[in-house]
Amino acid sequence: MTQPLLEMRDIVKSFSGVRALNGVSIKLARGEALSICGENGSGKSTLMKVLSGVWPYGSYEGDIFFEGQAVKAAGIRDTEALGIVIIHQELALVKELSVLENIFLGNELGSFAKLNDEDMYRRTRDLLKRVKLEVSPNTLVRDLGVGQQQLVEIAKALNKNVKLLILDEPTSSLTRNEIQILLNIVHDLKDQGIACIYISHKLDEVLDLSTWVAVIRDGDHIDTRSAAELTQNDIISMMVGRELEALFPREVHDIGETVLRVKNAHAMQAGASIPQVNDVSFELKKGEILGISGLIGSGRTELMQCIYGCYDGRYSATIEMQGQSLTIRSQRDALAAGIAMVPEDRKRHGIIPIMGVGRNISLSVLDDYVTYLGAIDENRETQDTVDYIARLKVKTASPELPIKNLSGGNQQKAIIAKCLLTNPKILILDEPTRGIDVGAKYEIYKLMHALVKEGMSIIMVSSELPEVIGISDRVLVMHEGRLKGEFDHQGLTQEMIMNCAIKEGV
Amino acid sequence: MFKTIKTSQLQLLAMIAAMTIIIVFFSIATEGAFITPRNISNLIRQTAIVGVLAIGMVFVIISAEIDLSVGSMMGLLGGVAAILDVWLHLPIALTILVTVCSGLVLGLFNGWWVAYQRVPSFIVTLAGMLAFRGILVGLTDGATVAPTSSDLSIIGQSYIPSGWGVSVIGVLCLGLIARVYSRRKSRQNHGIENTTAKFEYAKAFVVVAVLLILLISLENYRGIPTPILIMGGLILLATYIAKRTAFGRRIYAIGGNIEAARMSGVNVEWNKMWVFGFNGMMVAIAALILTSRLGAGTPSAGNMAELDAIAACVIGGTSLAGGLVRFLVPLWEP
């Protein structure tokens, strides 16, 4: 390697005694891309926060050199002045302003009294050309798709004369097509001599893009290797520190009689002309994992909301559980009937961020702990939550730690624990492994198998086809609100599901 | 190297610093009159009404709502108490009962609109602020209702005989230390890491010391004022509700993330309505203290008191975004 653009040497960062980073070193030259891989909570984000100056010089140990100079940043402004720009997963654009205004926000050209609109317009047009975004500089950002907004962020970074671009999970909410555009742009930037640090769980993108791949596990720097000599399986085993027997453990389930029968489910948004769920009927058997697949917007989540009693609009369905018909008008009715649900959107519907992990877990069953004078029997409550934290291997320093401080995978495990405490007969998991790392995914799959062995029935909604095929006993495919196909897992391929989910009138 | 100070600690330190500056400045400016037992007793007595209002308001704010009607509601309920006492000569117990029940009904009425009809609490209680004041003026014909009976005056004007005050504070201090002990013990039993014993007991002793200093200065004047004792009792009750009951836990959950609370099977509407109901009862108690202190019900009573109550909550560390109380009482940490 020639003179590196960036060198981070033995970075150590602790939070109240816990080492989040334990001597991580990385190196990067101009025109190269470095991917940083690791499970959630392994320290990737912390490393990027140290690099970008969110954690100021002095709050960590180790040295950072940029273009041969030691970096002693007091904040993000300092690192941005050097040419280090980070683009976060949650975009930092002002939606009500135009593309031009966003790009020049804080660095407007012209004098205090009169902005130089002509120059800014010309510069913006050139920048948009560089990121191949064909929109007018005066378009409002809220009128752009997520992928296009991502490109505006990159244009904004280019305007600041970026030398090192950090992309944190840039593709997690993009479509296939948008991802390809973004990857091409990053390749172009590399050719123009800009270095790039790329953080992603999507290993195919990592291998496509990177010169180097660095793997971090539990704050330790495992290795940095040339991307050309790695396969996806190599990276996975470096990340989890063990060979996965398989990504999807397959176990044989003892499937019993029907427990849940849903008939003629309909759901219609107020003011809409097309129903989101249109006359769907299906059955769920005891000890079975039922996968529900389909494109986003095909009515999968809405169908689950009808069963759990939380659909926001008019809906109807005949639901029978073990032969008895149920009326479910609210989440409380569903829980009382023995149906629990892990929602799709963890942040919005799952966690109470500032509450402790333990209290999040016990929230659904508080009434069980009430003794005299309405008081909660904290002894029994703590006992149960500590048990479930141990059983589900939720990694938390203490049950009293606010749940927002946990990684996504551990938050998800805590929400599953909350559902299990209600002792459900039927567990609905809506996108149970979205945005969580390989290790935690594997643990959740194992847990699902253990639960159905105890006689629970699971409905899993998922967009990840390998997951649907790898875990379910039976797969239902939805298309535009209707149930379009039913498959047994044996001999099922991704192509079969995709064909069923996309094609009209097969 | 400095250890970083948490925001909550910084807030607490700033508050202590501000209080020290105020005490020192006014002590010098008044040549010592500020720290005489008589002045301290008066100051504390005056905080009772805002204090009681703040207790109800804290729950409203934790659930991420706001109540702008408490000032007018306190005026109206104070007027009701005065009318029952002065015009109708009801016995004191009945006056208290009717006033508190009226507060509950008005609070539930506010809460019903907010929780079940989904009208923003800002709008509902702004309407209440105007309407309650109007009803008060209508009921009293804009005149002062006076003089109240001597029974009613006891609530706001009397003092606790000295021996009783010492016992109350003593029991409180022992209870506090016992609570710290039992909590540490319970954590230990479940293998949860405790903060150092020294630190927790030191915190409890600071509270005990402050209480004792207050007690001594109050005893040097006339003893503990009854309104302060009422406020103290209500703080204990509110702490119990917030920390130990399922209702309290659910209010935190609703304020923290209402959607997640609903998905977890919490009856969001019912709990919200009762938060306003509880607030209404606290307003009624504050109204009784107010009418008793003034010896009269007046049409302008409680003007702008809602802002005092909200300010007391925020200065006390309640996050206006809901779900969080830092140090209103040292035991309230979430």
Cβ–Cβ gap A353/B190 under 8 Å? no
- Buried b / exposed e along B293-303 (16+ C-beta atoms within 10 A): bbbbbbbebbe
**Residue B247: predicted pLDDT:** 93
Cβ–Cβ gap B1/A58 under 8 Å? yes
pLDDT tens digits, residue range B63-102? Answer: 999 999 999 999 999 999 999 999 999 999 999 999 999 9
**Residue B326: predicted pLDDT:** 46
Arithmetic mean of pLDDT over chain B: 85
**Residue B321: predicted pLDDT:** 58
pLDDT tens digits, residue range A76-131? Answer: 888 888 889 888 876 778 888 899 888 888 778 877 777 888 888 998 999 998 88
Question: Which ranges of A276-405 would DSSP assign to H, the alpha helix?
Answer: 300-308, 331-337, 357-362, 366-369, 378-391
Is residue B55 within 8 A of residue B236, CB to CB? The reply is: no
Residues A173 and A28 in one domain: yes
Residues A228 and A260 in one domain: no
Residues A419 and A440 in one domain: no
Rounded mean pLDDT of A430-434? Answer: 87
Instruction: Give which of A54, A346, A355 to mutate to test B binding, by max B Cβ within 10 Å.
Output: A355
Closest chain B CA to residue A350: B260
Cβ–Cβ gap B192/A382 under 8 Å? yes
Whether residue A27 is contained in a domain is answered as yes
Residues A370 and A318 in one domain: no
Banded pLDDT at B1 (limits 50, 70, 90): very low
pLDDT tens digits, residue range B38-48? Answer: 888 888 888 88
Instruction: Give which of A310, A366, A386 to mutate to test B binding, by max B Cβ within 10 Å.
Output: A366
Rounded mean pLDDT of B117-132? Answer: 95
Cβ-based contacts of B237 with chain A (< 8 Å): none
Residues A434 and A417 in one domain: no
Residues A96 and A206 in one domain: yes
Instruction: Give which of B263, B267, B278, B333 to mutate to test A binding, by max A Cβ within 10 Å.
Output: B263
Virtual torsion, Cα A166, A172, A178, A179, nearest 10 deg:
60
Taking the C-alpha atoms of residue A438 and residue A408, their distance in angstroms, rounded to an integer, is: 12
Residue A213 tokens, joined: 């791949």
Q: What is the pTM of this model?
A: 0.76
pLDDT tens digits, residue range A257-267? Answer: 999 999 999 99
Residue A141 tokens, joined: 């950002």
Virtual torsion, Cα A310, A315, A318, A319, nearest 10 deg:
-10
Phi, psi values for residue A124, rounded to 5°: -60, -40
Number of domains comprising chain A: 3
Using CA atoms, how far residue B225 sits from B19, B158, B164, B293, in Å, is: 22, 6, 12, 11
pLDDT tens digits, residue range A400-423? Answer: 888 988 888 899 999 999 999 999
Name the pairing type of β-strands A33-37 and A61-66. Answer: unpaired
What lies within 8 Å, CB to CB, of A408 at 6+ separation is A40, A346, A435, A436, A437, A440
Residues A143 and A126 in one domain: yes
**Residue B63: predicted pLDDT:** 92
**Residue B220: predicted pLDDT:** 80
Arithmetic mean of pLDDT over chain A: 86
Segments forming the whole domain that contains residue A172: 6-240
Taking the C-alpha atoms of residue B121 and residue B259, their distance in angstroms, rounded to an integer, is: 18
A388: number of Cβ within 10 Å: 21
Residues A483 and A356 in one domain: no
pLDDT tens digits, residue range A176-232? Answer: 777 888 888 889 888 988 999 998 877 888 888 889 999 888 788 888 888 888 888
**Residue B6: predicted pLDDT:** 63
**Residue B73: predicted pLDDT:** 97
**Residue B287: predicted pLDDT:** 96
Q: Which residue has the higher pLDDT, B177 or B55?
A: B55
Whether residue A246 is contained in a domain is answered as no
Residues A438 and A413 in one domain: no
Taking the C-alpha atoms of residue A34 and residue A27, their distance in angstroms, rounded to an integer, is: 9
**Residue B164: predicted pLDDT:** 78
Interface confidence, given as ipTM, is 0.82
pLDDT tens digits, residue range A56-76? Answer: 888 888 999 998 888 888 888
Closest chain B CA to residue A305: B263
Residues A415 and A433 in one domain: no
Which CATH number goes with the domain that contains A97?
Answer: 3.40.50.300
Rounded mean pLDDT of B116-141? Answer: 95
Cβ-based contacts of B191 with chain A (< 8 Å): 386
From A423, A439, A471, the end of a domain falls on A423
pLDDT tens digits, residue range A320-352? Answer: 998 899 889 899 999 999 999 999 888 889 999
The beta-carbon neighbor of A352 closest among B191, B240, B257 is: B257
Whether residue A344 is contained in a domain is answered as no
**Residue A299: predicted pLDDT:** 86
Whether residue A248 is contained in a domain is answered as no
From A240, A271, A291, the end of a domain falls on A240
Closest chain A CA to residue B252: A355
Which of A328-332, B187-191, B303-307 is predicted with the least confidence, judged by mean pLDDT? B187-191
**Residue B8: predicted pLDDT:** 60
How many residues comprise chain B? Answer: 334
Q: Is A353 helix (H, G, I), strand (E, B) or coil?
A: coil
**Residue B329: predicted pLDDT:** 41
**Residue A241: predicted pLDDT:** 66
Of A310, A309, A326, which is closest to residue A263 (Cα–Cα)? A326
Cβ-based contacts of B247 with chain A (< 8 Å): 374
Cβ-based contacts of A331 with chain B (< 8 Å): 262-265
Does B127 have pLDDT greater than 70?
yes
Is residue A179 within 8 A of residue A208, CB to CB? The reply is: no
A and B: number of Cβ contacts within 8 A: 92
Whether residue A49 is contained in a domain is answered as yes
Residues of A at the B interface, defined by Cβ within 8 angstroms: 58-59, 310, 331-332, 334-335, 341, 343, 348-356, 359, 363-364, 366-367, 369-370, 373-376, 378-379, 382-383, 386, 397-400, 418, 422
Cβ–Cβ gap B253/A370 under 8 Å? no
Residues A399 and A295 in one domain: no
From A423, A442, A463, the end of a domain falls on A423
Cβ–Cβ gap A331/B264 under 8 Å? yes
Which of A278-292, A480-494, B23-37, B168-182 is predicted with the least confidence, judged by mean pLDDT? B168-182
Chain B nearest CA to A32, separation (Å): 37
Cβ-based contacts of A366 with chain B (< 8 Å): 246, 249-250
Name the pairing type of β-strands B224-225 and A426-430. Answer: unpaired
Taking the C-alpha atoms of residue B3 and residue A219, their distance in angstroms, rounded to an integer, is: 22
Residues A105 and A38 in one domain: yes
Cβ–Cβ gap B246/A366 under 8 Å? yes
Cβ-based contacts of B324 with chain A (< 8 Å): 354
What lies within 8 Å, CB to CB, of A186 at 6+ separation is A33, A165, A167, A196, A198, A209
